[in-house]
Structure 1
């Protein structure tokens, strides 16, 4: 069981000068890696959610620029260290426009820009190539560090759940959206905690929500759980409260990720997270947020200041998926010939699921107030509230 027997999925394939990402819009039915060879392709992959998950977005943005710095003719023609810094800063500003809510992207861009600025400031003899080489080092280290940070989150989170769980061997966990290898550089945050529990043979069952309207839970989290042989059940978003009600004293925790955490612990995450937190409080189930410290934005004091991205109505009014020949299990998918007339791929169609002309509101995220959150798990450890206090002191934790 767990990742000990099956290696985790690799959503990002990188070697210096080459970047490929797993197209998550096609999962779980097709596995296709897309080459990212320009800033525009990196920006598009993030904006259209071919890659998603706050940590993964930051990594893909950083590595997209790394590829450009190695192979793009304009980057190779830079003559001075200051020209290299300006090119990198301009490129990072462009990549930041791809997703406005994920603070990890902004944090990564800031750190990378400061890093190359510091390199250029070392002296007049610093060359453009030395600045570029330093950027490559920083971006590649970011990829390596993210995997280790996720493993630390998994260990700290599993340890915390086992510490507070009083229900014996039947330990079950609920999660929302996708926070695994597909959302990070590898291993995962909230799903990393589930993976850690499974590896220790402490997890009896996991439940994942479908996560409408983009279905990251049913398409991606379910895919990862099946891939890693972790016992799991898919539920629709509207079934979560009923699940808690019908399984009293069996759900050890609801574990979710975060795209941004305010200084007081208010947390922006995939739409539907807030209602899970309310249900968890009513049923006395610990509600745990798992996120790297880079998701914490100390410039934002509360969730009221977090910008919420509103996405196109078509994501709610339509569904896209493979065409099946019949509803008998296992499903058989219809195939279509490829452009070469030889290869075949799964035939997909888009279908309407809503009345034509209906208005649509499609916020991609919601904000869960800190008072509903039991703990925030980072790669540095578990953040708890002081006794009698309803918010977290994220600044004190990060500065400790």
Structure 2
């Protein structure tokens, strides 16, 4: 048998009856062997495109075309039109080819529809209507598939175009930031030196002393912002001479020791769950330290006004990547802000509390290491950052 499908009917007698009908129709007209072979060659493609299975692969039930059309369930009708017979309406095919369809459930639980067809023995020739209808079906399916491929290609092209535009904007912004930072850095250092000189020659009980202290603090904050601008503007790749095999678990432990005073005074609970064998990876240790320091500081800031203050750290190998997860119980991030948190100068902190460069620098460092970083968060439910660093750095 050259099969285009298999008629699903309620019993064996119905199958035999339908087969006899097809054989009778097949004798009506003669077609050359090339036409028959062409129709047979597309059979597997038709079945592949026409068959739909649900995610649980549940066994189907038999329902006739008349029952399908007469059903009172709107969801069933919708599925039947959009996934099944919508492609078949108007085709000149013998009714016997569509005596049965299979669904994955009953009522509104339908998730797929399968249509099954059969081609006669090689000794018989298919009818003109059968060939014309099947050819039209193949054409419809092909057009639909090409349209879907076109839509997917357009979406991919649009995404890549936006990424290129975004990259160029960041490059321009980095150049501007570097120029501004260099222009500000020297006068800021000069002002800081003058303020520190005044502090040195001002008695602690003098009313000007606290004012000078505040001035020193704010100048240092400005210098910190300038340093971040410079760090953001640097676009060079990780220096191969600065790379070394290092254990990220040890780096995290070292950063947590540096923050131990802040962690203890704010009563933050730290939970670490490391896999038994954490592979060493080739990294710029200083830059990866900066990544974790930024993430932990952000987590601590997000939990300042929370009763429950916990940071959960997990580390394990996933394929050729080292996966590090840092979750906090902070205030969380609004869904609309998540796509922007790695953009430069974007911050969810209160005015004056953040520069908006920390996560931009984090993202840049991770990309320099051929890794990726993801963020999951819900308002009031905390935030989780997931970092993937390649174990085999190239």
TM-score above 0.5, yes or no: no
Greater percentage in strand = 1
Select the structure with the greater relative contact order (CA < 8 A; seq sep ≥ 6): 1
TM-score (norm 2): 0.23
What's the TM-score, normalizing by structure 1? 0.23
Q: Which has the higher helix share?
A: 2
